[in-house]
């Protein structure tokens, strides 16, 4: 059963097309590196890393792979245009049989998923680029609790 969830919005990317091929900027790579260091210090050993198929999400997740023994799992359900309900359904299906997941993805669904898990309501929450929302629950019947919200600019100060 999934007990810990780290929702990580991809870091700053270059504008352009095609959308799935957008790459991180130099600033985005720095953001991802700072956040990856926090994740290494706070994720349980058995945490799984799951990324959107978009290159900017893959590159964000790769910052974690460079410093810890993680493997990137790519899930098409996490695509940029996904609906939050698709992702919450996927999460409840116990992806990868994980008890802890780092999910790297996109706005608006990252904020919508956080809101849905925390409040049961489908609302838009703003999530900054490369920010992490850390949620936790004790049992399957328990509601998710918000444990931390981290922004990359806080990690550099």
pLDDT at 36: 97
| Domain residue ranges of the chain, discontinuous segments joined by + | 4-155
**What is the model's pTM?**
0.96
HSE value, Cβ hemisphere, 13 Å, CA-based, for 109: 19
CATH architecture of 4-155: 3-Layer(aba) Sandwich (3.40)
Output the pLDDT for position 95.
75
- Residue 115: its pLDDT value, please? 97
Tell me the C-alpha distance between 67 and 87, whole Å. 27
- Number of neighbours of residue 81 by Cβ within 10 angstroms: 7
Residue 28: strand pairing partners: none
The pLDDT score that the predictor gives to residue 141 is 75
pLDDT tens, N- to C-terminus, the chain (157 residues): 899 999 999 999 999 999 999 999 999 999 999 999 999 999 999 999 999 999 999 999 999 999 999 999 999 999 999 999 999 999 988 778 889 999 999 999 999 999 999 999 989 999 999 999 999 998 877 789 999 999 988 876 4
């Amino acid at each position: 059963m999934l007990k810990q969830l780290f929702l990580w919005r991809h870091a700053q990317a270059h504008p352009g097309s095609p959308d799935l091929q957008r790459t991180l900027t130099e600033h985005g790579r720095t953001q991802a590196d700072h956040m990856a260091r926090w994740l290494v210090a706070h994720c349980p050993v058995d945490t799984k890393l799951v990324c959107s198929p978009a290159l900017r999400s893959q590159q964000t997740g790769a910052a974690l792979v460079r410093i810890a023994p993680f493997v990137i799992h790519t899930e098409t359900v996490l695509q940029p245009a996904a609906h939050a309900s698709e992702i919450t359904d996927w999460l409840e299906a116990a992806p990868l049989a994980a008890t802890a997941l780092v999910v790297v993805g996109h706005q608006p669904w990252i904020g919508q998923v956080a809101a849905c898990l925390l409040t049961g309501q489908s609302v838009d929450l703003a999530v900054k680029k490369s920010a992490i929302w850390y949620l936790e629950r004790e049992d399957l019947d328990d509601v998710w609790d918000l444990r931390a919200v981290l922004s990359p600019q806080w990690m550099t100060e």
